[in-house]
Structure 1
Amino acid sequence: MADHYEVLGVSREATPDEIKKAYRRLARELHPDVNPGEDASERFKLVTHAYDVLSDPEQRQRYDMGGDGSAFGGAGFGGFGDIFETFFGGGGGGRAGRPRSRRERGQDALVRVNLELGDVVFGVHRDLDVDTAVVCETCDGSCCQPGTQPVTCDICHGAGNVQRTVRSLLGNVVTSQPCTTCQGYGTTIPYPCTTCQGQGRVRARRTVSVDIPAGVESGLRLQMPGSGEVGPAGGPNGDLYLEINVAAHQVFSREGDDLLATLEVSMPDAILGTEVTIESLDGAVPLEIRAGVQSGDVLTIKGRGITPLRGTQRGDLRVGVHVVTPTRLDAKQRALIEDFAKKTKAPGPQLAEFHQGLFSKLRDRFRTG
């Protein structure tokens, strides 16, 4: 027969605490639920028997005096109490878990918000209608009919779980599982609220007021903590997410915090220069067109772009010039142009050095303007 001290890996002078620690370590390693191997099962029996003998002062004394220590102390593999203490934190009966709470956090909600480009310049206030779960006004989230309340489950007595003892070759094994009568809540509701069917919440439309900041762009999601669905039994609300969609504008487009636009200029104005007033997204603004301006030139109006999402310094309004060449001339107009060409003695068409303009994004507009 194997020596009990060797089985546990302790000396003959080991204290009861050292023996207990050694047993727990080996039990974790060799328990059939953790290590199903046949060799581990046999070693587990030896470890359990060794601990049964050495943990009992009288049996340990008889063993040290030459006894075989074959007695199991009348407990029938009594070491199972320590096994369950090791794995479940309690004695042989196991430790009951806490009952579930009916109140749970609600789900998050997602709402898509359509904006115009002008809304993005300074931000905008919106009142949004949201279809979501709200607290039941009849029971105020209690899930019960008015004047009634939950009662303690008579099966689990409020524990939320029930324990069952299963006999095995190694002794009695105690398992714990949620009570099927109360679904683990520890209480039952004999008179559920008829408005919410015992859920503590109902579907309804509510209005959410939100200030959407300047500088948002399509695809951005804004989080509103605590504005989502209310949880079961009046639990805390989830969050509300606003997914932004900015509609395309007929005149202006966006590049970062700058606004882009195309200005069509007649040939005489391009040659002589002029001053015009254009309508930006936040009002009229004067713009000077210098003499000799060319198609593709960019005229910048400072501070007439978009207020950034994080910051206060607005972007610029950048205006790309598109010089419009007349296509229908009467005889007199054509004669004037021909006379002008003779007097200026302009060179004929020729290839020039290629350079990437600042306004390359507006090339398609220039071509179709």
Structure 2
Amino acid sequence: MADHYEVLGVSRDATTDEIKKAYRRLARQLHPDVNPGAEASETFKSVTHAYDVLSDSAQRQKYDRGGQGGGAEGQNFGNFGDIFETFFGGGGGSTRGPRSRRERGQDALIRVELDLAEVIFGTHRDLEVDTAILCDTCKGSCCQPGTAPVTCDICRGTGSIQRAVRSLLGNVMTSSPCGSCRGYGTIIATPCTTCSGQGRVRARRTVPVDVPAGVDTGLRLQMPGSGEIGPAGGPNGDLYLEMKVRHHDVFSRDGDDLLCSLEVAMTGAILGTTVKLKALDGDVDVELRPGVQSSEILTIKDRGVTKLRGSGRGDLKIGIQVVTPTRLDHKERDLIEQFAARHSAPAPSLSQYQQGLFAKLRDRFLG
């Protein structure tokens, strides 16, 4: 006689769940209703007998000690419930009762576009959503007002039909959803004309949304219960808001910091100056020290984006770009030449030309 563990394809220390999974897998392949061949039928008997023995703790212990653990002759295939569960989704003759018409509504996804300025402190939006709402006529009952569902006379309210099926094991009872009421156990004889018996209708509604500060492109916010209502007045699904922050011509974002470049005249860079910068949340006075260089980064504390998690704000980082004049009159050129004669410039090195100004600004911004 073949070893029961080998028949099921499991190890001798397999758990009960592993034995059950192995049996179900083999039963789906070998059951006579699926595989009517004579060889498959004999193998199915061996598989079922092996499972009968190994699924019973007392018989398994006896088998492991060298006993037979139940004879193949006259064994009664007592684990019918597992066979029924494998093929019919439940034990023979058992029913789960009628299913409910009320189901949870689907989730919805809306993309929300924001300006960078709105991200700094957050904003409020009233979003128009095309979704399913409760039918105002039947209030989710699916029936025309004054009427009610009636018990299905085919399944008598159980939602399922039981049938006797002949198999190798004899007559077994199977259960399947009632085709007349589709498993609900009741029939709506007079459906609501407004919603066609669905208990909900399509409509536009306004959803108020407080978008928190600090959101960024790709972030999704979940609003539980703000999605569409389910059939027959079932609970609402969730509403997801996917953020997209529009491009800004002046400012860009690095985490909670705001980045920008500031062009400064050569004279202002030499002598020092104060520049009024129009930031996203008001003007900022930027003081430039005498001799400020291109690609220097000035940091204005707490003028960046409000942090989404935690407290406080990021910084405003300003990259300096010194603008050299390209057209000079004779007097201006004479002055520059006199300046150059009194201040010898350092000899240029190759490393100074290996990356441009914007690359330097990027490197300093980010590192």
Deviation, 1:356, is 9.0
1:319 aligns with 2:318: yes
Letter matched to residue 242 of structure 1? L
Letter matched to residue 338 of structure 1? E
Alignment-derived partner of residue 156 in structure 2 = 157
CA contact (8 A) 1:88 1:94 kept: no
Cα distance, 1:352–1:45 mapped onto 2, change above 3 Å: closer
Cα distance, 1:269–1:203 mapped onto 2, change above 3 Å: same
5 Å-filtered alignment, 1:267-286, equals 267-286=266-285
1:260 aligns with 2:264: no
Alignment-derived partner of residue 184 in structure 1 = 183
5 Å-filtered alignment, 1:186-225, equals 186-225=185-224
CA RMSD of aligned residues (A): 3.3
Q: Partners in 1 of 2:261 and 2:45 — Cα distance?
A: 87
CA contact (8 A) 1:165 1:174 kept: yes
Q: Partners in 2 of 1:277 and 1:45 — Cα distance?
A: 86
Deviation, 1:97, is 2.1
5 Å-filtered alignment, 1:122-133, equals 122-133=121-132
Alignment-derived partner of residue 172 in structure 1 = 171
Deviation, 1:360, is 4.0
1:39 aligns with 2:42: yes
1:228 aligns with 2:231: no
CA contact (8 A) 2:132 2:229 kept: yes
CA contact (8 A) 2:261 2:318 kept: yes
CA contact (8 A) 2:27 2:83 kept: no
Letter matched to residue 235 of structure 2? P
Cα distance, 1:134–1:343 mapped onto 2, change above 3 Å: same
- TM-score, with length taken from structure 2: 0.76
Deviation, 1:279, is 1.5
Q: Partners in 2 of 1:86 and 1:254 — Cα distance?
A: 60
Q: Deviations over 1:249-284 (max 9, x none)?
A: 111000111000111000000000011221211111
Secondary structure (helix, strand or coil) at the match of 1:192 reads coil
Cα distance, 1:138–1:261 mapped onto 2, change above 3 Å: same
5 Å-filtered alignment, 1:1-369, equals 35-36=30-31, 37-40=40-43, 84=80, 87=83, 94-168=93-167, 170-352=169-351, 360=359, 362=361
Q: Partners in 2 of 1:280 and 1:222 — Cα distance?
A: 27
Alignment-derived partner of residue 61 in structure 2 = none
CA contact (8 A) 2:272 2:289 kept: yes
Q: Partners in 1 of 2:353 and 2:28 — Cα distance?
A: 76
Letter matched to residue 41 of structure 2? E
Cα distance, 1:276–1:313 mapped onto 2, change above 3 Å: same
Q: Partners in 2 of 1:166 and 1:298 — Cα distance?
A: 82
Matched residue pairs, number? 309
Q: Partners in 2 of 1:92 and 1:306 — Cα distance?
A: 60
CA contact (8 A) 1:304 1:317 kept: yes
Letter matched to residue 107 of structure 1? Q
CA contact (8 A) 2:84 2:92 kept: no
Letter matched to residue 259 of structure 1? L
Deviation, 1:39, is 2.5
**In terms of mean alpha carbon deviation, does 340-349 or 127-136 score higher?**
340-349
Deviation, 1:344, is 2.0
Cα distance, 1:290–1:164 mapped onto 2, change above 3 Å: same
Q: Partners in 1 of 2:107 and 2:358 — Cα distance?
A: 42
Q: Partners in 2 of 1:118 and 1:279 — Cα distance?
A: 12
Q: Partners in 2 of 1:236 and 1:148 — Cα distance?
A: 23
Secondary structure (helix, strand or coil) at the match of 2:314 reads coil
CA contact (8 A) 2:296 2:361 kept: no
CA contact (8 A) 2:297 2:361 kept: no
Q: Deviations over 1:281-303 (max 9, x none)?
A: 11112111000001000011000
Secondary structure (helix, strand or coil) at the match of 2:298 reads strand
Q: Deviations over 1:20-57 (max 9, x none)?
A: xxxxx9xx79x97675433346669999xxxxxxxxxx
Q: Partners in 2 of 1:101 and 1:219 — Cα distance?
A: 37
CA contact (8 A) 1:263 1:322 kept: yes
Q: Partners in 2 of 1:171 and 1:363 — Cα distance?
A: 79
Alignment-derived partner of residue 6 in structure 2 = none
CA contact (8 A) 1:266 1:323 kept: yes
Alignment-derived partner of residue 22 in structure 1 = none
Secondary structure (helix, strand or coil) at the match of 1:337 reads helix
